[in-house]
């Protein structure tokens, strides 16, 4: 097992990793920018190294500075968290070249799944269902028309270098297709420096369902059920739950088994999340994430597993020590992402926390690095706290979530707490009858479902 882990991240996930290490008797090194000198995980870490000025490119993305901090403190492993360098294959490679363990998959698997086209082709060959569409990139009008006629309209054109919904265009007929193709390629060139686009059948009202995978170095792979992350605004998840209110045990076993088999064949190691769109009872692969995710706590609460500790264990060479039949799902968990943003305008609201009162009681968890007097810097993402609530079933969970939200007070800045307080009482949220467009089209947009 590692003696000292350098946490190459900040905010709530840095604190989450620190807590996992502390319980395992592993020393921690916090690296921080000048703007994060007062961050909670920096205060709690065994050692701390300032790696640069506020901007992420000069600090949390500064590979030489992070490696120097690891060398000077004698860390034997690096945990990248999520975001920043978590899915940077080169970072994983240079960490390993410096004789330390990168807590995550191999650089090859990070690179493989980081490439949209190759990732999709790989998982398709491994038996995972994918969205019907073009084999690879589409360049000419002729090709585009052939692909569209083969699968029928509507079709979606996606920039391969895009992500988070950027560079996507829907076409409902031939004329729209040709205009959309030209526009998409031009915009992709301008925005991503890469004009490559692919085509897929457009799914009109899918849900976003993701399967959590955990694998060790010895070919043992399990799935830990799914998370329903359909409540999103501008491709940012707002609300996540496990398990999904619409997936049956039989479906879970089927899709989970397909993901496990694929990851076994791939020789995958560590945590991984296989993302799907789900519509009319069918799953369609969209991408795979090779990092721990923001929403990992909902899976932890329904399985009883500490996923960050499992990640550290398998990275240090431990076998899983359990098999799929040992994985039991109990109860229901919901996570609300509370952002330091105005809940009407969504304008970021950095600033000093004047007072901070978190909810508690049975089944209430708050993952946050906030404290009274802490100043949220304006340089990074706006995630302020994750409120994660557990219940014996979904209704119990929703009731407990409602109470926890009413108790939560964050003074001195705007937050999206008011949004969550409205969501938890909305009939569609209570029923679980929503899809990826619901928040923007129905809740905000006033459309009928
Ligand atoms: C799609 C789709 C519908 N059909 N692909 C958006 C970002 C990237 N993760 C994939 N995305 C989508 N791909 C096909 N063939 C709809 C979306 C999409 C979406 C997906 C998941 C969660 C929220 C979304 C919001 C808008 C569009």
The domain that holds 92 is classified in CATH as 3.40.50.20
**The pLDDT of residue 166:** 84
The CATH number of the domain holding residue 439 is: 3.30.470.20
Q: What is the pLDDT of residue 420?
A: 98
Q: How confident is the model at residue 446 (pLDDT cuts 50, 70, 90)?
A: confident
Percent of the chain with pLDDT over 70: 100
Predicted local distance difference test score (pLDDT) of residue 185:
95
Based on the domain organization, do 219 and 193 belong to the same domain?
no
Q: How far apart are CA 229 and CA 276, in angstroms?
A: 10
pTM, two decimal places: 0.97
- Give the E-state strand segments of 118-268 in sequence order: 155-159, 168-171, 197-201, 207-215, 221-233, 236-242
Q: Which of 291, 313, 365, 394 is catalytic?
A: 291
CATH number of the domain where residue 136 is located: 3.30.1490.20
- Total domains in the chain come to 3
332 to 99, 295, 361: CA distances (angstroms):
41, 14, 16
Residue 122 falls inside a structural domain: no
Same domain for 346 and 423, yes or no, is yes
Q: Are residues 295 and 429 in the same domain?
A: yes
212, 232: one domain: yes
- Assess if residue 111 is contained within a domain: no
Q: How many residues does the chain have?
A: 449
Residues of the domain holding 242: 207-444
Domain end among 201, 228, 253: 201
> Is the same domain home to 299 and 437?
yes
* All residues at 6 or more sequence positions from 365 whose CB lies less than 8 Å from its CB, including other chains: 297, 301, 387, 388, 389, 390
**291 part of the active site:** yes
CA dist 418 and 395 (Å) reads 20
Ligand 1 pocket at CB < 6 A:
131, 156, 164-165, 200-203, 206, 208, 232, 235, 277, 286, 436
Query: What DSSP string describes 9-42?
Result: --HHHHHHHHHHHHHTT-EEEEEEEGGGTT-HHH
Q: What does DSSP say about strands 27-33 and 4-7: parallel, antiparallel, or unpaired? A: parallel
Rounded to whole angstroms, the Cα distance separating 4 from 439 reads 43
d(CA 46, CA 101): 19
46 lies in some domain: yes
Quick check: is 67 in a domain? yes
Q: Are residues 275 and 369 in the same domain?
A: yes
CA of 342 to the centre of ligand 1 (A): 25
Burial class (CB in 10 A: 0-12, 13-18, 19+), 448: exposed
Atom 3 in ligand 1: residue holding the nearest Cα: 203
Rounded to whole angstroms, how far apart are CA atoms 1 and 410? Answer: 38
Q: Is 368 exposed, middle or buried (0-12, 13-18, 19+ CB in 10 A)?
A: buried
Mean pLDDT of 2-31: 98
- Does one domain contain both 232 and 193? no
Q: What is the mean pLDDT of residues 369-389?
A: 98
**Measured in angstroms, how far is the CA atom of residue 96 from the centroid of ligand 1?**
34
**Can you tell me the mean pLDDT for 165-181?**
94
**How confident is the model at residue 449, as a pLDDT?**
74
Q: Whose CA is nearest to atom 7 of ligand 1?
A: 165
Joined tokens for residue 215: 């694998």
Same-domain status, 67 and 137: no
Phi, psi at residue 110, to the nearest 5°? -65, -45
C-alpha 370: how far from its chain's center? 21
pLDDT (average), residues 1-5 = 98
Say yes or no to pLDDT of 167 above 80: yes
Q: What pLDDT, on a 0 to 100 scale, did the predictor assign at position 31? A: 98
User: Which is nearest to 392 in space by CA: 417, 428, 362, 413?
Assistant: 362
Write the CB contacts of 37 (distance below 8 Å, at least 6 apart in sequence). 50
| Cα–Cα dist 29/48, whole Å | 5
Find the angle CA(229)-CA(427)-CA(207) to the nearest 5 degrees. Answer: 25
The answer to whether 24 and 360 are in contact (CB under 8 A) is no
Q: State yes or no: pLDDT of 120 exceeds 80.
A: yes
Would you list the DSSP string of 418-434?
A: HHHHHHTT-HHHHHT--
d(CA 274, CA 289): 7
Q: Could you tell me if residue 90 is inside a domain?
A: yes
- Asked whether residue 242 falls in the same domain as residue 290, the answer is yes
Same domain, 295 and 430: yes
163 has a pLDDT exceeding 80: no
The residue whose CB lies within 8 Å of the most ligand 1 atoms, and thus the one to mutate among 129, 206, 280, 287, is 206
Confidence (pLDDT) at 164: 77
Tens of pLDDT, residue by residue over 324-357, are 999 999 999 999 999 999 999 999 999 999 999 9
The per-residue DSSP string of 359-401 comes to: --STTEEEEE---TT-EE-TTS--EEEEEEEEESSHHHHHHHH
Nearest-atom number in ligand 1 for the CA of 164 is: 7
**Mind listing the pLDDT tens digit for each residue in 391-423?**
999 999 999 999 999 999 999 999 999 999 999
236 and 186 belong to one structural domain: no
CA 287 – ligand 1 centroid, Å: 10
Task: Return the C-alpha torsion angle 150, 155, 161, 165, nearest 10.
Answer: -150
How many angstroms separate the Cα of 205 from the Cα of each of 67, 230, 316, 411, 449? 45, 10, 42, 37, 10
Task: Among 88, 103, 118, identify where a domain stops.
Answer: 103
226 has pLDDT over 80: yes
* Helices vs. strands in the chain: H and E counts, helices first: 14, 20
Tell me which residue has its CA closest to atom 14 in ligand 1. 202
Asked whether residue 72 is assigned to any structural domain, the reply reads yes
Within-domain flag for 126? no
Domain-embedded: residue 127:
no
69 and 189 share one domain? no
Give the residue from 150, 172, 201 where a domain finishes: 201
Mean model confidence pLDDT for the chain: 97
Beta-strand relationship, 47-52 and 4-7: unpaired
Q: Place 116 in a pLDDT band, splitting at 50, 70 and 90.
A: confident
- β-partners of residue 213 are 223, 272
Phi, psi of 349 (to 5 degrees): -135, 65
| Dist. CA 37–CA 27, nearest whole Å | 19
Q: Looking at ligand 1, which residue's alpha carbon is closest to its atom 5?
A: 202
């Amino acid at each position: 097992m590692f003696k000292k882990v350098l946490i190459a991240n900040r905010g709530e996930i840095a604190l989450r990793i620190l807590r996992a290490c502390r319980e395992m008797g592993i020393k921690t090194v916090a690296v921080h920018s000048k703007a994060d000198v007062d961050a909670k995980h920096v205060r709690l870490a065994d050692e701390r190294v300032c790696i640069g000025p506020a901007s992420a490119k000069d600090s949390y993305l500064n590979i030489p500075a992070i490696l120097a901090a690891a060398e000077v403190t004698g860390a034997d492993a690096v945990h990248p968290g999520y975001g920043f360098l978590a899915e940077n294959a080169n970072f994983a490679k240079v960490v390993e070249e410096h004789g330390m363990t990168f807590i995550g998959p191999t650089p090859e698997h990070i690179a493989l799944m980081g490439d949209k086209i190759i990732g999709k082709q790989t998982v398709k060959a491994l038996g995972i269902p994918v969205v019907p569409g073009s084999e690879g990139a589409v360049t000419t009008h002729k090709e585009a028309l052939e692909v569209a006629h083969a699968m029928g309209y509507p079709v979606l054109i996606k920039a391969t270098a895009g992500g988070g919904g950027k560079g996507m265009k829907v076409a409902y007929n031939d004329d729209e297709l040709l205009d959309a193709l030209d526009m998409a390629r031009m915009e992709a060139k301008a925005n991503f420096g890469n004009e490559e686009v692919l085509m897929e059948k457009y799914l009109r009202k899918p849900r976003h369902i993701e399967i959590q995978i955990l694998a060790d170095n010895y070919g043992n792979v399990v799935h830990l059920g799914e998370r329903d992350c359909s409540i999103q605004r501008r491709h940012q998840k707002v609300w996540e739950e496990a398990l999904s209110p619409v997936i049956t045990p039989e479906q879970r076993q089927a899709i989970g088994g397909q993901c496990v088999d694929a990851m076994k064949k791939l020789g995958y190691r560590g945590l991984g999340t296989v993302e799907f769109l789900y519509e009319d009872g069918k799953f369609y692969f969209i991408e795979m994430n090779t990092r721990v995710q923001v929403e990992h706590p909902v899976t932890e609460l329904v399985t009883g597993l500490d996923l960050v500790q499992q990640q550290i264990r398998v990275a240090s060479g431990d076998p899983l020590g359990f098999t799929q039949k040992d994985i039991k799902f109990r109860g229901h968990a919901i996570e609300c992402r509370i952002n330091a943003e105005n809940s009407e305008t969504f304008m970021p609201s950095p600033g000093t926390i004047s007072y901070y009162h978190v909810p508690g009681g049975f089944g209430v968890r708050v993952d946050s690095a906030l404290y009274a007097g802490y100043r949220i810097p304006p340089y990074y993402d706006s995630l302020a706290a994750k409120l994660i609530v557990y219940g014996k079933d979904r209704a119990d969970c929703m009731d407990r979530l409602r109470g926890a939200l009413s108790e939560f007070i964050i003074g001195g800045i705007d937050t999206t707490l008011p949004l969550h307080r409205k969501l938890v009482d909305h009939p569609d949220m209570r029923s679980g009858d929503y899809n990826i467009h619901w928040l923007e089209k129905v809740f905000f947009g006033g459309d009928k479902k």
